[in-house]
């Protein structure tokens, strides 16, 4: 059997089974985790890889995790070329296969007898991995050493047994060790689900046939992407957009991309992007690749099964030492969070020149990262909370944007109010959509949200890492830009505007109000139907 002779039914059955395994892994991780960030917000992702480390399938979860996870598996295999049964390799270092330090990746080899058949892998964002600020997402870090504990690829489990010395070292360097230990065990459990299910699937085929089926699945995704690219007009398309600042005095930082489409292949060249900066918004190569893969696949054909095959037609050029391919010891926590979003904005605007009918006005363009930490007065123990906040989704041909959703590289949920107030000494004082924040157009941009959080009866440390507080999400084809976001401190009833990126001490009963951007509109506003404008007013979207 060669890949070209694998029948369509077998290909689709196995492909669907692999995707089902990844989704079951993700469900197991969510159910068994300790932290609200994973259990409630679902800030995690899972994938299945073959014995060569090629990604075969992924859960439909976090795009910023999934496009970068193959780099983690590759780094794990470079350090441990033949991990044994029962081993699990753990890593988070951005310069050795990771993305940013809070995202810890697990890679577990899967054997049938003595034969290595593949790997299960998952990545989860931990609410604290040490560093200079609670929550490990500092808005003002100047080097990676301030961002938390760096874990090069290590075997945290060997032959099914945890290395207690390594585990103790990890837990000694975080503020919430019990929660971290629970989440690490949940990650191991998720990989064990993948291990069991892949063994069951492979047992239905001989090893030779299964490898050929896998090759056929990867080739199928490659063909689909090439066909999607061929339907777009060849040429070179460029765009430049900007991050507001790095939190340390560097403003309006350009990300420039040229997309060169030649038939059924595409080159994305980031030459012209600003050099890496002092503050924590530098992105490593894996994050840049993840955002690029996501953008190209979404535009060419979002129904393509995401795996190693569909990335083959994409060539990446990203000069070292730039904002999209940073080198050590640059701080990078915000590259995964904020710079990844702006890369998508840049690429989708460039791509809009190819096919307006497939285009999307800019979404909010930020994850609105907020971390809080202190001593919980109810238990006299440390706590940390991390969450990203929703905003506007861009207007597109024939459809208005969505209000108050997570966009592009995020795709998490907001922490439910009940879960947040139960787990932490915090209170959500206000939670609502922001009227007049979506850009007007024939199809409106979605609205941002406002979320006010009070530190109840205790002092806390706040870190904000946000963007689009100066710049605005662009509209398309006559549509207007969405509104910028805003961060505000409310103390004793008085409001004080906060920077987009900052770290500060909160006094007891201070309130931090994060007001997220809306999204851009699509098309000439004069073409919007009168009954739709009336509906907008009735729904409170505009005054």
On average, the pLDDT of the chain sits at 95
- Average of per-residue pLDDT across 299-316: 94
Query: Span 200-219, mean pLDDT?
Result: 93
For 271-293, the pLDDT digits (tens) are 999 999 999 999 999 999 999 99
Question: Quick one: tokens of 364?
Answer: 């909010």
| Contact between 77 and 143 (Cβ < 8 Å) | no
Query: So what's the pLDDT on residue 3?
Result: 55
Evaluate whether 310 touches 297 at the Cβ level (below 8 Å): yes
Task: Give the whole-angstrom CA distance, residue 339 versus residue 152.
Answer: 23
**φ and ψ at 216, to 5 degrees?**
-65, -40
Tokens standing for residue 102: 């809070």
What pLDDT is recorded for position 431? 97
Confidence at residue 541, expressed as pLDDT on a 0 to 100 scale: 84
Q: Per the structure block, which two tokens stand in for 123?
A: 């990545």
Q: What is the mean pLDDT of residues 9-32?
A: 96
Residue 219: its pLDDT value, please?
96
Q: Are 512 and 456 in contact (CB under 8 A)?
A: no
pLDDT class of 543 with cuts at 50, 70, 90 = confident
Pairing of strands 494-498, 486-491: antiparallel
Q: Is the pLDDT of residue 60 over 90?
A: no
Cβ atoms of residues 157 and 88 within 8 Å = yes
Residue 156 has pLDDT above 70, yes or no: yes
pLDDT band at 477 (very low <50, low <70, confident <90, very high): very high
Q: pLDDT tens digits for 336-365? A: 999 999 999 999 999 999 999 999 999 999
Domain residue spans of the chain: 3-221, 360-543
Phi-psi region of 399 (alpha: psi -120 to 50; beta: other; left: phi over 0): beta
Helices (H), 33-157: 36-39, 63-66, 69-79
Q: List C-alpha distances in Å: 111 to 194, 204, 522.
A: 12, 15, 51
Query: Measured between alpha carbons, how far is residue 359 from residues 166, 222, 231, 349 in Å?
Result: 48, 22, 15, 8
pTM higher than 0.85, yes or no? yes
Question: Among candidates 37, 38, 39, 55, which has minimal Cα distance to 47?
Answer: 55
The model's pLDDT over 61-87, given as tens digits with 9 standing for 90+, comes to: 778 777 889 999 999 999 999 999 999
pLDDT band at 4 (very low <50, low <70, confident <90, very high): low
Interval 319-335: pLDDT, tens:
999 999 999 999 999 99
Residue 157: pLDDT over 80: yes
Per-residue pLDDT at 337: 95
């Amino acid at each position: 059997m060669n890949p070209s002779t694998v029948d369509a039914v077998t290909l689709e059955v196995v492909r669907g089974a692999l995707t089902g395994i990844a989704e079951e892994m993700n469900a197991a991780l969510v159910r068994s985790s300790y932290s609200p960030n994973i259990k409630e917000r679902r800030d995690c992702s899972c994938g299945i890889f073959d014995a060569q480390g090629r990604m075969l399938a992924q859960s439909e979860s976090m795009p910023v995790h999934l496009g970068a996870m193959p780099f983690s598996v590759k780094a794990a295999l470079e350090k441990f070329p033949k991990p044994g049964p029962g081993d699990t390799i753990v890593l988070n270092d951005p310069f050795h296969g990771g993305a940013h330090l809070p995202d810890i990746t697990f890679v577990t080899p899967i054997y049938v007898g003595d034969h290595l058949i593949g790997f299960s892998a998952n990545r989860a964002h931990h609410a604290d991995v040490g560093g200079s600020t609670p929550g490990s997402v500092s808005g003002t870090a100047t080097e990676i050493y301030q961002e938390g504990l760096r874990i090069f690829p290590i075997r945290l489990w060997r032959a099914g047994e945890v290395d207690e010395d390594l585990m103790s070292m990890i837990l000694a360097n975080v503020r919430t060790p019990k929660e971290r230990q629970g989440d690490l065990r949940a990650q191991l459990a998720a990989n064990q689900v993948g291990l069991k299910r892949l063994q069951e699937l492979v047992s239905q085929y001989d090893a030779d046939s299964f490898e050929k089926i896998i090759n056929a699945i990867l080739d199928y995704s490659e063909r689909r992407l090439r066909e999607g690219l061929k339907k777009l007009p060849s040429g070179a398309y460029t765009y430049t957009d900007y991050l507001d600042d790095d939190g340390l005095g560097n403003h309006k930082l350009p990300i420039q991309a040229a997309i060169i489409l030649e038939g059924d292949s595409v080159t994305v060249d980031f030459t012209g992007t600003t050099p890496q900066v002092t503050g924590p918004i530098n992105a490593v190569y894996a994050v840049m690749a993840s955002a690029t893969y996501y953008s190209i696949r979404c535009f060419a054909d979002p129904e393509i099964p995401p795996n190693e095959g569909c990335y083959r037609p994409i060539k990446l050029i990203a000069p070292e030492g730039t904002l999209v391919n940073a080198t050590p010891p640059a701080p990078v926590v915000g590259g995964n969070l904020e710079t990844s979003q702006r890369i998508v904005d840049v690429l989708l605007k460039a791509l809009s020149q190819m096919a307006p009918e497939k285009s999307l006005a800019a979404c909010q363009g930020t994850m609105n990262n907020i971390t809080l930490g202190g001593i919980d007065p109810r238990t006299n123990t440390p706590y940390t909370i991390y969450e990203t906040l929703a905003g506007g989704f861009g207007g597109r041909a024939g459809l208005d944007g969505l209000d108050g959703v997570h966009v592009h590289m995020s795709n998490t949920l907001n922490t439910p109010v009940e879960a947040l107030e139960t787990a932490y000494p915090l209170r959500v004082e206000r939670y609502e959509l922001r009227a007049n924040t979506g850009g007007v157009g024939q199809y409106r941009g979605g609205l941002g949200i406002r979320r006010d959080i009070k530190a109840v009866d205790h002092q806390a440390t706040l870190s904000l890492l946000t963007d689009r507080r100066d710049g605005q999400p662009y509209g398309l084809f006559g549509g207007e830009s969405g509104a910028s976001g805003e961060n505000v401190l409310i103390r004793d009833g008085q409001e004080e505007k906060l920077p987009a990126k900052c770290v500060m001490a909160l006094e007891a009963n201070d309130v931090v109000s994060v007001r997220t951007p809306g999204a851009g509109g699509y098309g000439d506003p004069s073409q919007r139907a009168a009954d739709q404008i009336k509906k907008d007013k009735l729904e409170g979207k505009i005054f």
